A and B are shown apart, each in its own frame.
Chain A
Amino acid sequence: MKVFNKIVLGSALVIGGSLAFQSCLNLDEQVYSEVLSENFRPGERDIPAIIAPVYGSLRALMMGWQGHFDVQEESADVIVTPARPNGWYDGGTYVRMHQHTWTAIQWQPTNLWQSSYRSITTANRVIAQIEDDQISIENGREAVIAELKAVRAFAYYLLLDNHGNVPVVTDFRDVSLPQQSSRAELYDFVISEIEAAMPDLSQDARNTYGQMNYWVAKTLLAKIYLNAEVYTGTPQWQKVIEVCDEIIAGGAYQLDNVYAEVFHWENQNNEEIIFAVPYDEIFGQGNTVHMKTLDPLSRFVYNMQAGPWGGNCAVPQFIDTYDEEDGRLYDTWIMGPQFHANTGEMVISYTKEVPSIAATTSNQGYRIGKYQIKQGATGSLDNDFPFFRYADVLMMKAEALLRLGNGTQAAEIVSEVRARAFANTNPAKATVTAAQLEGNSRYQYGYQNLDGSIDLDTGVIPFGGFLDELGWEFAAEAHRRQDLIRFGVFQTKSWFNHRPHPQAQDKIIFPIPEAELNNNPNLTQNSSY
């Protein structure tokens, strides 16, 4: 009996144990909430989703928190983020942007670097997947690859403009640490990439909104030629004219009769916009320009479903340059009393004065209103960000003409762009002369003291009049830093609480982020950082 018991129990244990044992050695990971690459064979239907991230990362890059917009505007003379009662000192980060005292650990340019490379690496990955047939495309394979290469070139252009000397990576499969290229090499690379992609890019402007097409590539080329002297030391004004002429002749775009429409929340497919970074309050979030600029009380004006943060505003000296009859002053800035959308009561009144970057009250400084805020806006605007628009092409051509001595023709183009700004006030004022464009800027450069007085710097800026035109037309469009550098103002002038940095010439490019230097010993830091 005992023996029998032992046998029964023993075998029960052994059987039970071995059953458990058999089922219990399988360590394959079951994946439920992600798509395993081995289970997913992407086809043509998936192509939009596969290339979307290349564009998607541009959203955070442009108008996201401390993104490209801040890098271009806060380092320049139009927009400033002063400390306010509710904060905005933030360890001095905005002061450093304003005074050009950033270092290799400054977040804004680091963020720009990381976002640009995110687009580049995504493009490289998708190109490699297509080339290796992991993604099968039967029709239009070349066009997809060309488009990806053009976006990649666009991201490299941002790095060319901002960081100058950066590594070029084109093969996703190569994980070796890349070598650094000089700014001039990068310039050549970007131009050759654009030229190579051009023949395969779509010339259909209407169905490629928000994407890289032939015309966007051309505009990008014109932009790079416009700044060629800054990038390489050799100007390319004639090439600017040639490329712009081709875009103009193509007839795919035209000026909108109403300036404000270009920045409206329904501005997608606007005929003036050549390349937009599209935003949507639900599907494409990330345009937070209104959140950063508006005071929390402005939420009542727009019935907002969010409380804005109340930070940046216009530099008073820039506001003073406007002609009061220029419609763009009112289309670009929110000023004066603001009224409750439902009750009509005044909730806040924005004044022009900004006493100092160290201390302002919550209502001081005009706010960015260019990207119109619809009633019921959320924390993320619907408005697309126009990176290139037709007026830009016209103004690039005008600047090149002006610099090549053809001021009269330049003035005609500028007057054409100005026309809509004065159409409802004083159309005669739209017309400008070559002399005005060639003359000094109306901007009262100089350091602003606490009492509001300015230590005037009256040195003449060559083509200062044209720089003013760029300011009025493109204020709050993330153009200003590049334009100031091209006109020599960035390096030499004082404005608001900014004085020229002792190594001003080196500040025209940002440092290589410290984290990247640490990760890649092939990189050398930019001069004087």
Chain B
Amino acid sequence: MENFTKLKHVVAMGIILILQFGVKISHASTMENESLILGERLGVTASEQQDRTVRGTVYSTEDGLTLPGVSVVLKGTTRGTATDIDGGFTLSVPDEGGTLIFSFVGFETQELNITNQSVFEIQLKPDVTSMNEVVVVGYGTMRKGDVTSSIGGVKEEDFVKGAVRDAAQLIQGKVAGLRVTTPSGDPAAGTQINLRGINSINGTNQPLILIDGIPGDMNTVAPEDIESIDVLKDGSAAAIYGTRATGGVILITTRKNDQGRNTVNYNNYVSVQTIQRRPNLLTGDDYRRLIAEEGIPYTDYGGNTDWIGEMLQTPVSQNHNLTLFGGNSTTNFTGSINYRNWDGIFLRTGQERLTIRADLNHSMFDDKLRANVQVINRVFKSERGGADGYAFRQAMIRNPTDRVRDDQGNWQERDGYFYENPISRIYEYTSQSRFNEMRMSGSLNYTPVDNLDLKLLVSNVQSNDLFGGATTFNHTDTWLNNRNSTASRSTSAHNENLVELTGNYNKSIGKNFFTVLGGYSWQDAVFEGFNASNWNFPTDLYTWNNLGAGAALQNGQASMGSNKNQWQLAGFFGRFTYSYDDKYLFMASVRREGSSRFGVNNQWGTFPAASVGWRISNEPFLKNVSNIEDIKLRAGYGVTGTIAGNPYLSQISYNFNRDQGAYVGGQWVQGFIPTRNFNPDLRWETKIEYNLGVDFSLFKDRLSGSIDFYRRDINDLLYNFPVPTPPYLFGSMMLNAGSMQNDGMEVLLNFTPISKAKFVWNSNFTYSTNRNKLIDLSNDVFDVSNEFFNAGGTGEPIQDYTHRVQVGGPIGQFFVLKSVGVNEDGLWLIENRNGEVVPITEAVQEDRQFYGNGIPRHIVGFNNSFTYGRVDVEVNFRGAFGHDILNFQRMFYENPKNIAYNMLNTAYDPVYGQRLDSDLVYVSHYIESGDYLKLDNLTVGYSFPGRGVMKNARVYASGLNLFILTKYQGIDPEGVSVLGFSPGNDERDKYPTTRTFTLGLNISF
């Protein structure tokens, strides 16, 4: 809970300074008939009496830190003050004494009888009612109780512990409706995020990620440097971000030092990883047995090599984070250094990261002007070998009787189609990549008159990427393609600017409270890239550092390229909120946004939103019902957009293109071709969302949570629409066509089954379900259309598509020949379109049918934390149900037909009572239920009491991805992509997911 309080402090400061009336209302019962409390005026009244002075300091019971900005009022009078930045106060009181009332947002109000004492220490207890939590919303913060939209938030103390990859994994399973998965075990790979289903076909489904208000990504700051993450789920909350918000908005708040505390915090952990589940292949001994017993003509080279074992390692990874908080009430800073060095389970894979952040705050003119400067610099580096998904495939299929090296110590290569020694690929290829990003932002807050706050925010983000990769003479590429050492280099630079001007005003008149926000935002970005490759080098010692030494570029065989593009986005936005008597809540917002990425005809769009709330618990008939702290009903409506991924899509432009060139006039010339079918009418996708929800807090907040129902109508879908090729030049064209619908429900429950002095058990349960439907794929111009498109691919040698997206159906459906048996010849028996069973040789493409869906219908998360004295235990479960996975591993390797490649040790097992004698083929047999329940995170920690300069210390052990209940036979049912149009394809070329064990230490001084 401690960091949760910090955030409250942050916001409380703001609220005290800006929203005085809000404070007043929430404490109306203790301050009836009183007007303004704060400031010098109070001092004037106090001095007129026969008085004495009392002083004191206000602390939080939660973390023992002082609390600034606490209101201190002498009961029954207008006398009062507020604590300073060190939590101290001085107040004149009548000689006879009285009662002081201490109140502060987020804390329980406390009364104190003044005795003869003149110096006091006051401990304020946090007000644990969840409705008082502060949540970050678009361009500001709000009390949870005032929010009328669906917003999910997770504070630092509730984050997933252990070796967490990025910010998204911190909240994995903790926000209902937000699905975070890690499909790859590669330490450099990211997470996949999806909020409320698939909402776009060609645009992004990724949420807008803002770090302290500035666009970034899940890796912009280190996970250890994050204080809270809030997720704007429904359209009424997200609409203020316009065209970037359909995938939701994730607001990351970094750790801040608003109390002027002076603390050093050090965090360290070490982790090891193992593969989630190892595929069981035929061994060398199995080969010899099959040769001897069944006469299967395998080649026996005499050995027994565990190829997967050869390419795996047990990686040890480490992470260090040092954060400094320092300064005083007017000038303070937060600085953090985060270093992380992770290795992967594949040999020669890993990544190093260094992230440094400095945050400086200064306030002047009686806090009327506040400035902030923040700098984040990060460097991601990796030097790797050739261990990729393809090498993993080679380890799967390589003859287990073969050896890694021959007698001379050279790599043992063999002939074969796509058949290479995986270990040689790993060692004979090296790549180096470096990513640098420098983010600088500054803001000025100015409060010219009470209740009005003007803010100017400016930021600049510059990043660049540099990559080099090279193969040696001993790489299989020399053997296979006669290319003697290859090398490539690429680089890119990205520059992004943001300017934002916002004004906030609020006013309370009697029981009416309203706020107004207005603002303007500008964003522009430039991206530039360059790449070149070469081969046939005289030596392999140059690697990528002397590209000119190769011959292929000079011979015109190798490639070189460069590109540049730019986009701009401008927006005007406003928001109005109104509440009456803390019972009836209303919010309306609008954004008017223009983008360079759309045709002039449709450059600007409007994105309105409105929501209402009713705090039914504040009505007289519920007000005094015990066990009901809060019940709020909400309804919201909001419009957001999605921009097509690439710039230029609307432009009439041409390119010179070698592929379309020809031999004309006795020489080779490049072809001058239109880049695409022209569409100057291109515009954004529009998502209209309706959200109904309830927030509740019951039994003294022992049970709280939210339930939300939503429906999303997405219109003007950007789709690469098939158009007739006469008359159009290309068979497809980016058009706004079609519509899609998502609806679903989300449940969040927080409960505290046990709350004793020594033993506390907090539990959190999330559930979400989503239903997706593609309504239409046409527009006014093309009323007749393909009612479907195919997606996903098996790759060689099956060469087939896997999914079909059909109008009227959901995204993610497999489209396949349904296998119902195997005949005595070992051929698949297929149920054809007339329902008859035929051998696969007689089946035609028209016999394919829909069979299962790769997107889970139900997602659950169940998170528990136990505190017993100084011991804390955290147990998190995660599950997904109602979905299927196409197991490529079995489709390719559980078939005895191709003995040139190794296979799973189940390949010779009978299928439907028969051994297969069928070419590798995509049939429904390989589509399995993907349902699973995981023990994802188990953490045990012990906190030491503070001693001397050490404020506190904690050690913990943690495991990620520990245990799984599933019928799925592949490596990991969660290690599968769930985005795009072929979700649920568990590809054969992959970096398998891992199980991670972590030991960590956390100390504060």
A-to-B contact residues, CB < 8 Å: 2, 5-6, 9-10, 13, 16-17, 20-21, 24-38, 40, 42, 46, 48-59, 83, 85-93, 95, 101, 103, 105, 113-114, 117-118, 120-122, 124-125, 167, 169, 171-172, 174-178, 207, 209-211, 268, 278, 280-285, 296-297, 299, 303-307, 309-310, 358, 362, 376, 378, 515-516, 518-521
Q: What residue in chain A is nearest B448 (Cβ atoms)? A: A6
Question: Chain A residues with Cβ under 8 A from B729's Cβ?
Answer: 118, 121-122, 125
Minimal beta-carbon separation of B822 from chain A (angstroms): 16
CA distance A133 to B351 in the complex (A): 57
Question: Do residues A25 and B670 form an inter-chain contact, with CB atoms below 8 A?
Answer: no
Question: Chain B residues with Cβ under 8 A from A283's Cβ?
Answer: 556, 658, 661, 663, 668
Choice from B416, B483, B651, B785 contacting A29 with Cβ under 8 Å: B651
Question: Do residues A121 and B898 form an inter-chain contact, with CB atoms below 8 A?
Answer: no
With A121-B728, A167-B726 known as contacts, the answer to whether A86 contacts B501 (CB < 8 A) is no
Question: Do residues B799 and A90 form an inter-chain contact, with CB atoms below 8 A?
Answer: yes
Question: Do residues A177 and B652 form an inter-chain contact, with CB atoms below 8 A?
Answer: no
Question: Do residues A13 and B784 form an inter-chain contact, with CB atoms below 8 A?
Answer: no
Interface-centre pick from A52, A113, A211 (highest chain B CB count, 10 A): A52
Query: Interface with A: B106-114, B404-412, B594-602, which one?
Result: B594-602
CA distance A210 to B786 in the complex (A): 37
Choice from A30, A49, A56, A124 contacting B566 with Cβ under 8 Å: A30
Within 8 Å of chain A (Cβ to Cβ): is B671?
Answer: yes
Within 8 Å of chain A (Cβ to Cβ): is B603?
Answer: yes
CA distance A125 to B786 in the complex (A): 26
Choice from A17, A46, A178, A376 contacting B724 with Cβ under 8 Å: A178
Question: Do residues B724 and A519 form an inter-chain contact, with CB atoms below 8 A?
Answer: yes
Minimal beta-carbon separation of B661 from chain A (angstroms): 5
CA distance A201 to B806 in the complex (A): 49
Question: Do residues B663 and A268 form an inter-chain contact, with CB atoms below 8 A?
Answer: yes
Choice from A30, A35, A85 contacting B656 with Cβ under 8 Å: A35
What would 13 A/B residue contacts be, using CB atoms closer than 8 Å?
A10-B454, A24-B524, A31-B565, A36-B651, A89-B798, A95-B841, A169-B726, A176-B727, A211-B664, A283-B668, A284-B663, A378-B557, A521-B784
Minimal beta-carbon separation of A516 from chain B (angstroms): 6
Within 8 Å of chain A (Cβ to Cβ): is B555?
Answer: yes
**Contact residues, B827-845 vs A (CB, 8 A):** 841, 844-845
CA distance A521 to B661 in the complex (A): 34
Minimal beta-carbon separation of A46 from chain B (angstroms): 6
Closest 4 CB pairs of A and B: A87-B797, A86-B417, A24-B522, A55-B662
With A25-B570, A40-B654 known as contacts, the answer to whether A121 contacts B671 (CB < 8 A) is no
Q: What residue in chain B is nearest A113 (Cβ atoms)? A: B725
Question: Do residues A37 and B654 form an inter-chain contact, with CB atoms below 8 A?
Answer: yes
With A118-B725, A175-B728 known as contacts, the answer to whether A16 contacts B456 (CB < 8 A) is yes
CA distance A307 to B95 in the complex (A): 98
Q: What residue in chain B is nearest A106 (Cβ atoms)? A: B845
Q: Mark B713-732, 1 if CB is under 8 A from A, else 0.
A: 00000000011111111010
CA distance A52 to B660 in the complex (A): 7
Within 8 Å of chain A (Cβ to Cβ): is B759?
Answer: no
CA distance A48 to B784 in the complex (A): 38
Question: Do residues B664 and A48 form an inter-chain contact, with CB atoms below 8 A?
Answer: yes
Question: Chain A residues with Cβ under 8 A from B365's Cβ?
Answer: 2, 5, 9
Q: How large is the interface on B (under 10, 10 to 19, 20 to 34, 35 or more residues)?
A: 35 or more
With A29-B648, A52-B662 known as contacts, the answer to whether A114 contacts B520 (CB < 8 A) is no
Question: Do residues A29 and B798 form an inter-chain contact, with CB atoms below 8 A?
Answer: no
Interface-centre pick from B556, B603, B652, B663 (highest chain A CB count, 10 A): B663
Question: Chain B residues with Cβ under 8 A from A310's Cβ?
Answer: 417
Question: Chain A residues with Cβ under 8 A from B653's Cβ?
Answer: 31, 34-37
With A17-B456, A282-B557 known as contacts, the answer to whether A31 contacts B651 (CB < 8 A) is yes
Q: What residue in chain B is nearest A282 (Cβ atoms)? A: B556
With A29-B648, A89-B920 known as contacts, the answer to whether A209 contacts B666 (CB < 8 A) is yes
Q: Beyond the given A86-B418, A117-B726, could you list 9 further A-B residue pairs with CB under 8 A, ordered by the A residue number?
A: A20-B458, A20-B499, A33-B564, A52-B662, A118-B729, A209-B663, A284-B662, A518-B784, A519-B784
CA distance A285 to B726 in the complex (A): 26
Q: What residue in chain B is nearest A519 (Cβ atoms)? A: B724
Question: Do residues A177 and B724 form an inter-chain contact, with CB atoms below 8 A?
Answer: yes
Question: Do residues A516 and B672 form an inter-chain contact, with CB atoms below 8 A?
Answer: no
Q: Mark B231-249, 1 if CB is under 8 A from A, else 0.
A: 0000000000000000000
Q: What residue in chain A is nearest B656 (Cβ atoms)? A: A49
CA distance A160 to B557 in the complex (A): 37
Question: Do residues B844 and A103 form an inter-chain contact, with CB atoms below 8 A?
Answer: yes
With A34-B675, A49-B671, A296-B417 known as contacts, the answer to whether A284 contacts B661 (CB < 8 A) is yes
Question: Chain A residues with Cβ under 8 A from B910's Cβ?
Answer: none
Question: Chain A residues with Cβ under 8 A from B416's Cβ?
Answer: 86, 296
Minimal beta-carbon separation of B421 from chain A (angstroms): 15
CA distance A40 to B728 in the complex (A): 22
CA distance A359 to B805 in the complex (A): 34
Question: Do residues A120 and B726 form an inter-chain contact, with CB atoms below 8 A?
Answer: yes
CA distance A51 to B799 in the complex (A): 35
Question: Do residues A518 and B786 form an inter-chain contact, with CB atoms below 8 A?
Answer: yes
Q: What residue in chain A is nearest B501 (Cβ atoms)? A: A17
Minimal beta-carbon separation of B570 from chain A (angstroms): 6
Question: Chain B residues with Cβ under 8 A from A91's Cβ?
Answer: 798-800, 845, 921-922
Within 8 Å of chain A (Cβ to Cβ): is B760?
Answer: no
With A9-B446, A38-B652, A305-B481 known as contacts, the answer to whether A32 contacts B565 (CB < 8 A) is yes
With A85-B898, A90-B797 known as contacts, the answer to whether A42 contacts B672 (CB < 8 A) is yes
Choice from A57, A89, A278, A515 contacting B797 with Cβ under 8 Å: A89
With A30-B566, A86-B418, A209-B663 known as contacts, the answer to whether A299 contacts B482 (CB < 8 A) is yes
CA distance A16 to B798 in the complex (A): 62
With A37-B652, A49-B672, A520-B724 known as contacts, the answer to whether A24 contacts B499 (CB < 8 A) is yes
With A85-B898, A209-B663, A518-B722 known as contacts, the answer to whether A121 contacts B727 (CB < 8 A) is yes
Question: Do residues B555 and A304 form an inter-chain contact, with CB atoms below 8 A?
Answer: no
Question: Chain B residues with Cβ under 8 A from A30's Cβ?
Answer: 565-566, 596
**Contact residues, B561-576 vs A (CB, 8 A):** 562-568, 570
CA distance A174 to B674 in the complex (A): 17
Question: Do residues B669 and A48 form an inter-chain contact, with CB atoms below 8 A?
Answer: yes
CA distance A310 to B900 in the complex (A): 14
